[in-house]
Amino acid sequence: MEFRIAHLYAHFLNIYGDRGNIITLSQRAKWRGIEVKVDAIDIGQDADPDYYDFYFIGGGQDKQQIVIAEDLVKRASTLKTAVAGGAVVLTVCGGYQLLGHYYRPHEGPELKGISLLDAYTVAGNRRMIGNVVIKRDDDTTLVGFENHSGKTFLGKDVQPLGKIVVGNGNNGEDKSEGACQGTVYGTYLHGSLLPKNPAFADHLLIQALARRYGAIKLATLDDALELQAHKRALTLPA
Amino acid sequence: MTEKTILTLADRAAVLVAKLAASSIRKLGLGLGSNLPGRLALKVSPNVLGHLSGQTTRGVIAITGTNGKSTTSGILSSILRTAGFTFAHNRQGANLVTGITASLIESADWNANIAADLCLFEIDEAALPLVAQQVIIGSVVVTNLFRDQLDRFGELDTTARLINKGIGINQSLAILNADDPNVCQLAPEVSHLFFGLESVAAGVAAEGNMELAYCGKCGKEISYNRVFYGQMGHWYCQGCDFKRPDPAIYATDVEVSATASRFKLFIDGKAEECTLPLPGLFNVYNALAAAAAAFHLGATREAIRAGLKAYSTLFGRSERLTIEGKSVIVQLIKNPAGATQALASCIRDPKARLLIAINDNLADGRDISWLWDADFEQLTALTDTSITVSGQRAEDMAVRLKYAGINADHIFTVPKLAQAVTQALSTLGADETLWLMPTYTNLLDLQKILKSMGVSMSGT
Ligand SMILES: [Zn+2]
């Protein structure tokens, strides 16, 4: 079995520990004897929509966001083909914002998104920084750290990833955090997201592998250290 | 030579008030790091910082940048002492306006007179414009600019803008790292003095994760002929004519060991054989920054060579200690680039054992995502080494090590630092060295813990 990851703009958007998500998925696959292939896909570089099981886009600085947005619009149709074929897309922070319909800054023109998520983002006046805990529909929790001023609002075709227990989330107003539409995910949680949320990491892994291997069961891992860190994060102040 | 400023009555009163406050704080045992004396002084005389520093004959030199400010200031101090200069220096890492004011007042007598040739200020990037508005800064050294400050300022561009503004206010001479493309785009309108690394001995590898940089003129990704450390190296832009400037002060043939480095230092076209008792290429950059500043201030080549050799480490910056007969190295870690470099030094020591302590207080940075950007994977080179993790975020550190490929059975989580230190020392072999890597507030705790064991760290 092989797990194929496309890390979009890996060299461009490599802050906030985004690497941690790739490391986590790779290791959790390898520990189960699954081969892993990670490709960094740069601006202007094509990615075969039939090839990859999983796509990741992280966060970046404002200036980089503009360049990324232009490139993302160009690859929108291939990404949509990949998603239609069952590929999983995980986006964090800046990447999340660009997966919606648009990002509206304080000044200047709107940045066009690719509408893989029914959501839009507007520039806010305060930076939302701090620890976050969210509760998912199945009562499980996700923990992480947010640092953003953009406020994201969800449309009717998309579900929030969870409900805010600690922190701000999508916009600091409606208690929602993140977005999930089919196999496409967006979130403001870094920290990194996946190392401390091993069950969610496995959920993404299973969903992504289902594209080529159907319903599979992953071998159980000893997650004592991960769960300890998760438990600790539940007690952190916002 | 600058003209001496005249002190006002308010300045003298400010110094008096601050000194009284400082002495009562000491008597009450409130400890170091209080901002109160500096804040009081600025209340009494808002211009006291400028007036006091204006009394020195050679003026003010500022050191700023993401990493290496303290080490560079420390090396420069060592050179200046060797060269026979007297100077005031904000030694305790107090690098915001109130802290600098308090430090300077400590160097003054009760009459507010300062008997120093110059002021050496280590200044936080964000505080540089504020200090520059009050003080005439003759020259500004920028060590490097890493993209690690998002938690504080939002983005690198903000930091660069603040430094530009700070340099622009007094049209200071900019002493810049020629090898760092992020630094070279600073302050294009003032005079420059560049320092850089020309060559390393065969077998010396680049350090750190290579960091991408983008051209300050056209925005294209920077290309390299050579990379030495992070985004530092021999760089050029393919999109325009922006390229690494030729440095006036440079090192060649750098050799590094686990504890020191040797190199030829070229100043004014002539070479000196230098030894620096600090490991890593990163510290060679700090030495070059200090050498360039010292040369500008009038130190001789011989004084620079001797000052580098005589340098002894600062609080928590790669400090060697003997505790209960056992060998310990303390190295502060606070961001991916610095941590990656510290780990690179550590794995050169085949007898290394590790204790990593991570806190997430404001002074440490509340966002610990950076642990995932640092190259802990290099630790797999130390086979079978047990690693103790401690601090408020010990559990996160344990997970990071597990995913870096360290066997989970070799990772010991001991959140309480005092307990972790005792445990790590008690199991340390006589021929082994304990590498203690704390974040900033863990380092402050460590200082107290070691003091209770009868060991003093420098800066205490
Ligand atoms: Zn260019």
Q: How far apart are CA A27 and CA A21, in angstroms?
A: 10
Active site residue A180: no
CATH number of the structural domain B3-309: 3.40.1190.10
The mean pLDDT value for B241-249 works out to 96
CATH number of the structural domain B317-452: 3.90.190.20
- Nearest chain A residue to B395, by CA: A229
pLDDT exceeding 90 applies to what percent of chain B? 51
Contacts of A238 in chain B (CB under 8 A): none
- Nearest chain B residue to A189, by CA: B369
Q: How confident is the model at residue B156 (pLDDT cuts 50, 70, 90)?
A: low
pLDDT surpassing 60 at residue B151: no
Q: What is the model's pLDDT at position B3?
A: 56
With an 8 Å Cβ cutoff, are A229 and B408 in contact?
A: no
Q: How confident is the model at residue B24 (pLDDT cuts 50, 70, 90)?
A: confident
Q: Is B241 exposed, middle or buried (0-12, 13-18, 19+ CB in 10 A)?
A: exposed
**What is the distance in A from the centroid of ligand 1 to the CA of B222?**
7
Annotated catalytic residue, options A7, A148, A190, A230: A190
Q: What is the model's pLDDT at position A61?
A: 67
Q: What is the model's pLDDT at position B21?
A: 84
> What is the overall mean pLDDT for chain B?
88
Annotated catalytic residue, options A7, A93, A180, A230: A93
**What is the distance in A from the centroid of ligand 1 to the CA of A85?**
40
Contacts of A24 in chain B (CB under 8 A): 403
pLDDT surpassing 70 at residue B154: no
**What is the distance in A from the centroid of ligand 1 to the CA of B239?**
5
* Among the partner residues A27, A131, A228, nearest to B395 by beta-carbon distance: A228
CB atoms near residue B120 (< 10 Å): 24
CB atoms near residue A25 (< 10 Å): 25
Cis peptide before B345 (omega within 30 of 0): no
Q: Is A219 exposed, middle or buried (0-12, 13-18, 19+ CB in 10 A)?
A: exposed
pLDDT surpassing 50 at residue B153: no
**What is the distance in A from the centroid of ligand 1 to the CA of B220?**
6
- DSSP, residue by residue, B280-314: SHHHHHHHHHHHHHHHHHT--HHHHHHHHHH----
Inter-residue contact B105 to B13 (CB < 8 Å): no
Residue type, B245: P
Q: How far apart are CA A27 and CA B123, in angstroms?
A: 41
Pinpoint the alpha helices (H) of B197-238. Answer: none
Q: How do strand A162-166 and strand A176-177 relate by DSSP bridges?
A: antiparallel
For residue B41, give the nearest of B105, B126, B90 by alpha carbon.
B105
Q: How do strand B192-197 and strand B249-256 relate by DSSP bridges?
A: parallel
pLDDT surpassing 80 at residue A31: yes
Domain boundaries, chain B: 3-309, 317-452
* Among the partner residues A14, A17, A222, nearest to B371 by beta-carbon distance: A17
Contacts of B212 in chain A (CB under 8 A): 11-12, 14
Inter-residue contact B162 to B216 (CB < 8 Å): no
Task: Tell whether pTM > 0.90.
Answer: no
Q: How far apart are CA B138 and CA B119, in angstroms?
A: 10
Spell B431-452 as b/e; 16+ CB within 10 A means b.
ebbbbbbbbbbbbbbbbebbee
With an 8 Å Cβ cutoff, are B157 and A222 in contact?
A: no
The mean pLDDT value for A199-216 works out to 97
CB atoms near residue B231 (< 10 Å): 26
* pLDDT, tens digit, 9 for 90 and up, residues B73-103: 999 999 999 999 989 888 655 777 888 888 8
For residue A42, give the nearest of A66, A68, A19, A20 by alpha carbon.
A68
Q: How do strand A119-135 and strand A184-187 relate by DSSP bridges?
A: unpaired
Residue type, B298: G
Torsion angle, alpha carbons of B448, B452, B458, B460, to 10 = 60
Q: How confident is the model at residue B315 (pLDDT cuts 50, 70, 90)?
A: low
Inter-residue contact B249 to B267 (CB < 8 Å): yes
Number of residues written out for chain A: 238
Distance from CA of B451 to the nearest CA of A (A): 30
* Among the partner residues A12, A145, A225, nearest to B367 by beta-carbon distance: A145
Q: How confident is the model at residue A13 (pLDDT cuts 50, 70, 90)?
A: low
- Nearest chain B residue to A127, by CA: B154
Q: What is the model's pLDDT at position B268?
A: 87
Q: How confident is the model at residue B150 (pLDDT cuts 50, 70, 90)?
A: very low
Q: What is the model's pLDDT at position B322?
A: 86
* pLDDT, tens digit, 9 for 90 and up, residues B328-368: 999 989 888 889 888 988 998 888 999 999 999 877 888 99
Ranges A46-55, B59-68, B112-121, B369-378: which has the least confidence:
B112-121
Q: How far apart are CA B173 and CA B414, in angstroms?
A: 48
Active site residue A93: yes
With an 8 Å Cβ cutoff, are B398 and A225 in contact?
A: yes
Contacts of A127 in chain B (CB under 8 A): 154
Q: Decide: helix, strand or coil at residue B166.
A: helix
Residue type, B443: L
What's CA A113's distance to the chain center, in Å? 15
